[in-house]
Amino acid sequence: MAYHTSCLDCRRFSQVALLLLVGIAGWFPVDASAQGAAVPEVTSITGSSSAAQGLPAAEAALINQRSQETLEVAREASPHTNASSIASFQEEINAAVARATGGRIWDPTAPREPFPRTSWGHPDLGGYWLAVSYVPLERPDELAGKPLYTRGERR
């Protein structure tokens, strides 16, 4: 599997991870007083700026959220549209489609196989047919000369 080149650089990867964590932190608001413990402070090990020192983690994560460098790294790391996502995996998609279809793809310009016909030229409708109507497909011999039922016989 191919990885984007910006993901191989640890610095950029940590910036993208921070951006993702900031987005996740925005989904789940945290109230430190309700938990009974303070939110741990951000240290220099996490790669935060000096402006973030001494702030709770949730607030420190928001300091560089809109910096131009962070936005550029995020744009490089992830595709913008569905089309660019598909373009990056086009070869793998084509291989999966070929495996799934076995190479049998319908071509409307190809000549079609001839429909089977009887010896007298009509279409051959032979085979197994499902009859769930309980109506006989042939008329009984006692009704051979009678074209229709009378009103009394139809019930």
Angle at 117 between CA 116 and CA 122, to 5 degrees: 140
Q: Within its chain, how far is the Cα of 22 from the centroid?
A: 26
Q: Are the CB atoms for 60 and 100 separated by under 8 Å? A: no
pTM exceeding 0.85: no
pLDDT band at residue 22 under the 50/70/90 scheme = low
Q: How far apart, in whole angstroms, are the C-alpha atoms of residue 125 and residue 127?
A: 7
Q: Is residue 152 part of a domain?
A: no
Structurally, how many domains does the chain consist of?
Answer: 1
Q: Is residue 81 part of a domain?
A: yes
Q: What is the pLDDT of residues 28-83, one digit of tens each?
A: 454 444 444 444 444 444 444 555 566 777 666 666 666 777 777 777 777 566 67
- pLDDT, residue 20, reads 55
* Residue 6 token pair: 């910006």
Q: Is residue 71 part of a domain?
A: yes
Residue 26 belongs to what domain range?
A: 5-96
Q: Is residue 142 part of a domain?
A: no
Q: Is residue 32 part of a domain?
A: yes
